[in-house]
Amino acid sequence: MDYIYLFLGLALLLVAADLLVDSSVAIARRARVSNFIIGLTIVGMGTSAPELFVSISSALSGHGDIAMGNVIGSNIANIFLILGVSATILPFTIKREVSRRDIPFGIIAALLLLLLANDALLPGIAENTLSRIDAIFMLVLFFVYMCYTVVIKGRNPQQAVAEADEETKSKLTGKHPALLWVIAIASLVALIYGGTLFLDSAQNLARAWGMSEAVISITIVAVGTSLPELITAITAALKKNPELALGNVIGSNVFNILMILGLAGTIRPMTFTTVSIVDYAVMCIAAVMTYLIIFTFGKHRFDRIEGVIFLLCYIAYTAYLLLR
């Protein structure tokens, strides 16, 4: 049965991602906002639901390392794996306001987590913790950023019109707005359920094949919790909507750090013992590399060679984890 569930989960992921991208593009064009904003908000936060459930439940049960490891691993996979795959499939241009505002904010969020969650680096502090005050500060920062992005910068009729001329028309364009929202929400639910179905069956098969729990958690679980983002990004790239893929990754990473860990830490302050400083560093390096690609090879463009480099970085990091 696990083989059947594996293929059913994959099929559900593919169908749901296709509908989610189409409905999101149609909503963006009708609301006259950019695809990037839709990816940053609706798609980015929606596809982070698996990380949200895992982190909240881990925090409530006192397993802070699982909550933190889940977010760090997901963010690294989002950048190196998902953006790497997207750019390898279809290189894309990065708009100047994205490179000036949203990508730097993703770097700030990563560095903030590095500072707040590594108290033991300071003299006189024995353990790493995320206090309730730290968590509340992260939540406030998240809501300020989202309000600024959506309210002040979200509506851009000129950019939306330009995108409408440049991009492939969504097959859902012209549908009633209420129907588009129903399709988008239903697609998100199906995407999350499909990812869970695929992940659970893959874990069962891995155990049946004799893989250890450590290998399963580092490989299958790490990629599995990012499957909604991965499938959505690939689908968006194939449909020539790469800005949706980029917005999805940036939105998901900011949501993971500030909203998920902020909410989890507010509910219950967390202590970390097994998450390495190397893991935080790799997450920050990945965020910085997303900014550096603006200046390498084709300026303000994510080229195919850069996508391959990102994929090689993810492979190297995974190999490091297996050997650690």
Which amino acid, one-letter code, is at 154?
G
Give pLDDT tens digits for 156-213: 555 544 544 444 455 666 678 888 889 888 888 887 787 677 767 776 776 777 765 4
Whether residue 308 is predicted with pLDDT greater than 80 in this model: the reply is yes
Whether residue 69 is predicted with pLDDT greater than 60 in this model: the reply is yes
Q: What is the pLDDT of residue 294?
A: 83
Residue-averaged pLDDT of the chain: 79
Whether residue 32 is predicted with pLDDT greater than 60 in this model: the reply is yes
Whether residue 70 is predicted with pLDDT greater than 90 in this model: the reply is no
The CA distance from 135 to 259, in Å, is 9
The CA distance from 99 to 92, in Å, is 13
Find the helix or strand (DSSP H, E) in which 315 lies.
helix 304-323
Q: Cα torsion at 95, 98, 99, 104 (round to 10°)? A: -170
Beta-carbon contacts of residue 96 (< 8 Å; ≥ 6 apart): 300
Give the SS3 label for residue 302.
Answer: strand
Q: Write down all domains in the chain, each with its CATH number in brackets.
A: 2-323 (1.20.1420.30)
Q: Which of 26-30, 120-124, 223-227, 285-289 shows the lowest per-residue confidence on average (mean pLDDT)?
A: 223-227
The CA distance from 137 to 108, in Å, is 14
Confidence of residue 63 (pLDDT cuts 50, 70, 90): confident
Whether residue 273 is predicted with pLDDT greater than 50 in this model: the reply is yes
The CA distance from 133 to 122, in Å, is 18
Q: What is the pLDDT of residue 161?
A: 45
Closest by Cα among 71, 34, 77 to 51? 71
Contact yes or no for 106/289 (Cβ under 8 A): no
Whether residue 107 is predicted with pLDDT greater than 90 in this model: the reply is yes
Whether residue 296 is predicted with pLDDT greater than 90 in this model: the reply is no
Q: What is the pLDDT of residue 192?
A: 76
pTM: 0.76
Contact yes or no for 93/300 (Cβ under 8 A): yes
Beta-carbon contacts of residue 130 (< 8 Å; ≥ 6 apart): 64, 68, 116, 117, 261, 265, 269, 270, 272
Neighbour count for residue 241 (Cβ, 10 Å) = 27
Q: Tell the burial category of 247 from Cβ atoms under 10 Å away from its Cβ (0-12, 13-18, 19+).
A: buried
The separation between the first and the last C-alpha atoms of the chain, rounded to the nearest angstrom, is 34
